[in-house]
């Protein structure tokens, strides 16, 4: 093997190696962005970024992608939203205090551990209501600004059954 053949072979192997590396990075970017966003535009942009930097060995493209990609994958985002949902549901059902996370009873108006207000009594039937509810599920009296009105004159709330009978 003379020197020119050696150089030709070396550059061929080197070129092949660079090509495979480029292909690997493009495929990796594609898989990675697929797990991170459902936005088609972002996906195409990320893969293009990796493809376009071919002449410069596409490491700058990879670097740019790593800087710009969404921080968490869709799986991570999904499990985090599930956790938050479960926490909110427990707080809403009054299983635990949303301030100190101590176990509390559903009927508690205040947390006995940290004094946080957990529920408020219905302006009409006085049953404990979650702070997240907009009306009383027991008697239908609205909460909030309207609640004051009904608290003053409880009889003004029309009974649905009384209207249909007649």
CA distances from 69 to 46, 84, 137, 147, 159 (A): 8, 24, 45, 48, 57
> Which is closer to Zn ion, CB of 36 or CB of 119?
119
* Chosen residue from 52, 100, 131, 157 binding Zn ion by CB under 5 A: 100
Q: Distance between CA atoms of 136 and 126, rounded to whole angstroms?
A: 9
Number of chain positions touching Zn ion (CB under 5 A): 14
CB-facing half-sphere around the CA of 37: CA atoms within 13 A: 16
**115-144 mask for Zn ion (x: CB under 5 A)?**
-x-----x-xx----------x-xx-x---
Measured distance CA(121)–CA(130) in Å, rounded: 9
Interface stretch with Zn ion, choices 40-48, 68-76, 89-97, 154-162 (CB under 5 A): 89-97
From candidates 45, 74, 95, 114, binder to Zn ion by CB under 5 A: 114
Among 111, 143, 147, 150, binds Zn ion (CB under 5 A): 111
For residue 108, the tally of other CB atoms under 10 A from its CB is 15
Rounded Cα distance between 38 and 86, Å, is 24
If the CB atoms of residues 16 and 95 are measured against Zn ion, the closer one turns out to be 95
99 binds Zn ion (CB under 5 A): yes
By CB atoms closer than 10 A (0-12, 13-18, 19+), residue 50 is buried
Of 25, 97, 119, 147, the one binding Zn ion by CB under 5 A: 97
Q: Which residues bind Zn ion (CB under 5 A)?
A: 97, 99-100, 111, 113-114, 116, 122, 124-125, 136, 138-139, 141
């Amino acid at each position: 093997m003379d020197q020119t053949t050696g150089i030709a072979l070396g550059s061929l192997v080197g070129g092949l190696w660079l090509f495979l590396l480029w292909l690997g990075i493009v495929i990796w970017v594609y898989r990675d962005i697929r797990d991170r966003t459902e936005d088609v535009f972002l996906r195409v942009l990320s893969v293009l970024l990796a493809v376009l930097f071919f002449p410069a060995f596409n490491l700058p493209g990879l670097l740019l992608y790593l800087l710009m990609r969404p921080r968490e994958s869709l799986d991570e985002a999904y499990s985090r939203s599930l956790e938050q949902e479960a926490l909110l549901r427990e707080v809403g059902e009054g299983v635990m205090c949303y301030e100190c996370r101590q176990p509390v009873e559903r009927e508690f108006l205040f947390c006995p551990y940290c004094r946080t207000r957990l529920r408020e009594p219905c302006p009409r039937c006085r049953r404990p209501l979650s702070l997240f509810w907009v009306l009383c599920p027991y008697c239908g009296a609205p909460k909030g600004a309207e609640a004051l009105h009904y608290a003053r004159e409880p009889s003004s709330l029309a009974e649905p059954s009384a209207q249909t009978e007649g």
